[in-house]
Amino acid sequence: MTASSAQALSILRDPSQFQWYVIPLLLVVIYVYHNQVQLKNWNAVFAGLALWGADWFNEIWNALVFHFTQYAPVWGAPAKTAYLILIGLNIEITMMFAIMGVATSIVLPEDKKMKVLGIPNRLFYIIAFTTLAVIVEVILNAIGALTWDYSWWSARNPWFIWIAGYFWFFAIAFWVYDMKTIRSKVITVGTLLGIDLLCLIVFMGVLHWI
């Protein structure tokens, strides 16, 4: 087991780590969604939930990687936090991802066919936001906030981070954003979050693997 993994395990779901700044962070998340609900911008609301659900799915399989290897997760979050939910997910990260889908989807042009620099605008923004997110990840890793212990998931080899870490997050968020009916959005997001919840119940609550 790597030192960073042991450090993360030592604070995993430890309530004594609580810090009061979590409360205003929660209020920011509530405000962002309440604002979009007031505007009846259901596209952004469901895009936000879709991206949040995608991140939970990633965090679950990342925690399972550590369980089965007993060496390291693909990414870890052993640094100071108010609460470490899973080995690579703290409460600050999950609140950030809860907002990210809303924040990025509201910049999308209404015209799905419009191009930016010759690229369909949805694909352009997926590429742009994915690249920016990976740059931030590299910086967080450089300062020790996120740890990477596998050569295929690193600043020198960022393609897996780019594709598995973020590209599909924005792709599913914008796909849900563009769905024509609320029913389609509810079914898609509900299915994704349902899978996440089932995995948490089984792998964390029953088997205690993560």
Kindly indicate the confidence band of residue 137, based on its pLDDT and cuts at 50, 70 and 90: very high
pLDDT at position 187 is 98
pTM: 0.95
Domain of 193? 3-206
Please tell me the total count of domains within the chain.
1
Mean pLDDT of the chain: 97
Kindly indicate the confidence band of residue 198, based on its pLDDT and cuts at 50, 70 and 90: very high
The whole-number average pLDDT for the span 65-75 is 98
Kindly indicate the confidence band of residue 197, based on its pLDDT and cuts at 50, 70 and 90: very high
Kindly indicate the confidence band of residue 155, based on its pLDDT and cuts at 50, 70 and 90: very high
pLDDT at position 1 is 95
Which is nearest to 96 in space by CA: 11, 166, 15, 167? 166
User: Which residues make beta-bridge pairs with 116?
Assistant: 119
Question: Which pLDDT tens digit goes with each residue over 13-23?
Answer: 999 999 999 99
Output the six-digit token pair for 61. 């399989």
Which is nearest to 3 in space by CA: 72, 97, 52? 72
Burial of 95 (0-12, 13-18, 19+ CB in 10 A): middle
As a whole-number percent, the residues of the chain with pLDDT over 70 amount to: 100
The whole-number average pLDDT for the span 51-64 is 98
